[in-house]
Amino acid sequence: MPFTVHDIPDQTGTLAVITGATGGLGYETALALAGAQATVVLTGRNPEKGADALVRIRAIHPHADISYETLDLSSLASVEDFARRFAAAHDHLDLLVNNAGVMMPPTRQTTADGFELQFETNYLGHFALTARLVPLLSAAARGRVVTLSSIMARRGKIHFDDLQLVAGYTPSAAYGQSKLACLMFARELQVRSDTAGLGISSFAAHPGISSTNLIENGMGQGSMAARLKPLTGMFFQSPAAGALPTLYAATSPDAVPGGYYGPDGFMEMRGTPTAANVPPQARIAADLARLWTVSEGLAGVGFPSLAKAA
């Protein structure tokens, strides 16, 4: 039977953090988890949008246990600040959904940290966030991390000699690299969790082709994302449908740790959640380990080797 929001198990007692949760896929993920009785922390860059998202969710689920915290994944300082505040308030974290992203700005842009915008926002910021939250995820009974990739990962390549694409920026190359990196990270996180005894289950998911606010986040009307906008009604599925693979990975007892989930339709563009195709470039163990090591250096974080208490 196709997985729907009605198949989400009761999430009472589950504490979840969702990045980029004020619109699009992140909002739909937060809405569904709140409806399943989870305690949900929505994060985003804009407090006004955060407040609006809380109002909209409470209008549908009046008793939802939800809150908003500011978190900018394009800033390592913001990631560190959020993680510190969260750890001061909580002793565990059951679910982290690494969802926030930007899509294909027409010109190469850099963050305050000096990284290419899509590389840091979509990937490196989430790498750093997960590293800082590992102790809380490991402290949970069944900590889960779901990291959002994309069907664009199929065409992605990790440019180890030029990760910031200084010499060869194109919007699609940068986006594909960032989303391939997310998939590689999710897979390697499972390997390292198993090796270190962290007790964390890591999953990757992609939404197919969904009409989300990534299009608006494409930074301008001249962007590739903006040019795709007229096609959304014809070919793209809704954000609610696009969020289902994430929700399956986040909640289903049938989701396999280390797995990758996406829509079951033609070329995984739309449909109901199923196991997704892992592209060959995300299967090379040496490259997964290399990207991990490089990312620790770039982000200035290390993943603690905290064996889960018996």
Active site residues: 175
Question: Which pair of tokens denotes residue 93?
Answer: 């974290």
Question: Which pair of tokens denotes residue 69?
Answer: 């915290």
How far, CA to CA in Å, does 17 sit from each of 83, 144, 226, 287? 11, 11, 29, 29
Strand partners, 69: 43
Kind of pairing between the strands at 260-263 and 273-275: antiparallel
What is the distance between the alpha carbons of residues 27 and 59, in angstroms, rounded to a whole number? 14
Q: Tell the residue number behind the tokens 């989303």, with chain if given.
A: 179
Nearest CA to 76 out of 128, 122, 118 is that of: 128
Which residue blocks in 211-271 are alpha helix, DSSP H?
224-228, 232-235, 239-242, 244-251
